[in-house]
Structure formats: C-alpha cells, structure tokens
Structure 1
Amino acid sequence: MNAQAERHEAGDHVVLGKLTSPYGVKGWLKVYSYTSPMDGILDYGEWVVRQGDVLSRYRLVQGRRHGKGLVAQLEGCGTREAAEALAGAEILLPKSALPSLPRGDYYWYELEGLTVVTREGQVLGRVQYLFETGANDVLVVRGDPLGEPAAIDDRERLLPFLPDEVIVAVDREAGRMTVDWDPTF
C-alpha cells in the first residue's frame, strides 16, 4: 500500500467515520460516516486512517453513495485483501483541515469535555458525547461529585442542544457551557 505511516497525537484529529468492510474485489471499502450530510466525508481528498496506535495517510481515489451508505476506494488499496486489512479502521482528519464555522456554530468535538453549569451556578457535569435524533442533537452530560469542578451528583443527563433555549452560552476557552436546565430533571 502507498500509505504513509505516522505517529502523532490522535488529539490533533477528529474522527469522521469508519471503514467497515470490503466492497467487491477491487479494494473498495464500505464507509460509515459521522459527517452531516453523510457524504460530506467524501469532500476530503486525503484521509488519516487509524489502526490501533498507527496513523496512515491515504488519498481518496473515489467515493460515492451506495444504497443507504457509502463506498470508497483509497490509493494503494486495489485488492479485496488490502481492503480487509483496513476494515474496522477509523477515518480521521486533522482538526486544522476542518472549515471554519460561523460564530455560534460548533463541531461536536469542541463541546465534548466542557463543564456544564446551570444559570444558578450548579455544576451538572461534563459533556461526554453528543448524538443526533430526528428533532435535535442531544448532549450526554455525566456528573462527577469528586471531579474538578465537583458536580452536584453522579447522574447522567440528556440535554437537548437547543441554542438560546437550553444552551445559554458556550465558552470554549473557559471550558464551560451554561444551560437553562432544572437539575432535578
């Protein structure tokens, strides 16, 4: 394969998707995309593929929608065996390659780890991850009463990501998100 193996911090990257399984006999792979829209992952001509601790760069030769998913061909991956070797690997992109967003918009990875505080100053916990529903995105916030800062309890809360309704303010530099939320809910 023509991939360049690298070692550097995975923290410099964001996960865009996953190579799930081979597709056909010519080295194509099925792709599970975390981007929205789904085929937005195909806009990036070079992918960093993570297998364990090893990061390798691959040029995207071509990709397309296939049924309800995506398939892609990577440079140097021309056989089913080569595709099988990549199955299960994550697709990463350097954070520096992501397009700038308008003020008030955020990539999910920028919200993960923020401390969530009510308007009244009660710490609910930290954003663990987000997920998409049909209506709106949802924050999963987990409390840690022994953490720093200490949360009011160890509950896991699901908060709708509704700017100007539930989400009052996001201060990434301070690592804090202020919410209008009843802690008993």
Structure 2
Amino acid sequence: MIVLGRIVAPFGVQGWVHLHPFGDDPASWRRMSRWWLGSDPEGDDWRPLDLLGLKPHGDGWVAGFYGIADRVGAESLKGLYLGAPREDLPRPDEGEYYWADLIGLAVVNEQGETLGRVDSLIETGANDVLVVMDGEQKRLLPFIDQVVKSVDAAAGCIHVDWGSDW
C-alpha cells in the first residue's frame, strides 16, 4: 500500500473531508475510483472506499466518499491515512516520484561518497526535504534540482551535489 495523504478534518455537513496530501499532484488521484483508508501506514487494517468526488478548496483539497453522507461519518475518518495499492496509482511523470519509491535509496554525492539512505521525507512550504540517515548521523537535503542530480530507483541510488562534511 502506498500512502498518499491523511484526512485531517471534516468539511461541511455532507460527509466531505479535508485532506493533507503527501505529494504535489492530488488531482491525479481522481483517476482512482477506489481509495483505501487505514489507521497505520504500516498496518493491515486498510479498508476500501469508493470516491464520490475530489476538488481543490482554498490552498488544500477536499474529498467525498460514497456511504459517508454526514458530518458524523466524516468525523469518524479524521486522522486516517489514505492510500492505494501500487498497481492502482497513476504513473508519475518523468522526473516525478512517489515518496515511497525514494525511501531506502542510497544517497551518493558527486565525489562517490555514500551519505546514507533516505529514511523519510519532510514536506515544507518551499520544497520537500530528504531525511538521510547514516547510522546515527542525520542529514537534511532539499529535494531540488540544484542538489538532487539524478534518481535511479532501479539501481537504488540518488546522486546529489552535497558534501560529506556539510
């Protein structure tokens, strides 16, 4: 299961919810008629819900599901993660990646030094940030073109312009 975001709050009185997407293209999720909700991203309690609608609202997104018709139903979804099996996901465009595809990749700088492996990502207002762990050492690398030179998921490696002493 690939985690796409989280439900943060009810929206209105007709069962819709506010979403916090973990990525920058939730509009593409409209192509998935069925979404999966679960309380633990690593757990096995995922349950399917059919998508009624998805639309931008302010600087965020709201979604509705068949069978969730009122605020009480929407409140019961608060805090749940939303995801989908990999085979149901839209293919990312060239140069785009699902966060789940980056977790665990080795990070190697231009001098050939391994800086560690991607442990997680952080979403910030400006750009996403790779959390790279090398034992107990943590590095935070901005996921921007000036730093990330290439991603080779098949080879399990991200090449970066980043010094080992930074």
Normalising TM by the smaller chain, what interval?
A: 0.7 to 0.9
What is residue 78 of structure 2 aligned with on the other side?
A: 87
What is residue 15 of structure 2 aligned with on the other side?
A: 27
What is residue 6 of structure 1 aligned with on the other side?
A: none
Shift in Å at residue 143 of structure 1?
Answer: 1.2
**What is the root-mean-square deviation in Å for CA atoms of aligned residues?**
2.5
Match of 1:161 among 140, 143, 159: 143
Distance change >3 Å, CA 66–CA 168, structure 1 → 2: closer
Distance change >3 Å, CA 95–CA 116, structure 1 → 2: same
Distance change >3 Å, CA 122–CA 57, structure 1 → 2: same
Distance change >3 Å, CA 178–CA 54, structure 1 → 2: same
Identity of paired residues, percent?
Answer: 39
Secondary structure of 1:86's aligned partner: coil
Shift in Å at residue 50 of structure 1?
Answer: 0.9
Shift in Å at residue 80 of structure 1?
Answer: 2.3
| Superimposed CA distance per residue, residues 7-54 of structure 1 (whole angstroms, 9 cap, x where no aligned partner) | xxxxxx221111122223332222222232454444432211113441
Secondary structure of 1:140's aligned partner: strand
Task: Give the count of matched residue pairs.
Answer: 163
Rg larger in structure: 1
More RCO (CA 8 Å, sep 6+): 2
2:37 paired with 1:49: yes
Distance change >3 Å, CA 132–CA 71, structure 1 → 2: closer
Aligned AA for 1:33? P
Question: Is the contact made by 1:64 and 1:71 (CA closer than 8 Å) also made in structure 2?
Answer: yes
What is residue 160 of structure 2 aligned with on the other side?
A: 179
Distance change >3 Å, CA 33–CA 180, structure 1 → 2: closer
User: Normalized against structure 1, the TM-score is what?
Assistant: 0.73
What is residue 131 of structure 1 aligned with on the other side?
A: 122
What is residue 97 of structure 1 aligned with on the other side?
A: 88
Secondary structure of 2:74's aligned partner: helix
What is residue 8 of structure 1 aligned with on the other side?
A: none
Aligned AA for 1:51? S
Question: Is the contact made by 2:31 and 2:90 (CA closer than 8 Å) also made in structure 1?
Answer: no
Question: Is the contact made by 2:28 and 2:90 (CA closer than 8 Å) also made in structure 1?
Answer: no
What is residue 133 of structure 2 aligned with on the other side?
A: 142
Shift in Å at residue 139 of structure 1?
Answer: 1.8
Question: Is the contact made by 2:23 and 2:98 (CA closer than 8 Å) also made in structure 1?
Answer: no
Unaligned runs of 5+ in 1: 1-12, 145-153
Q: Equivalents in 2 of 1:32, 1:169: separation in Å?
A: 27
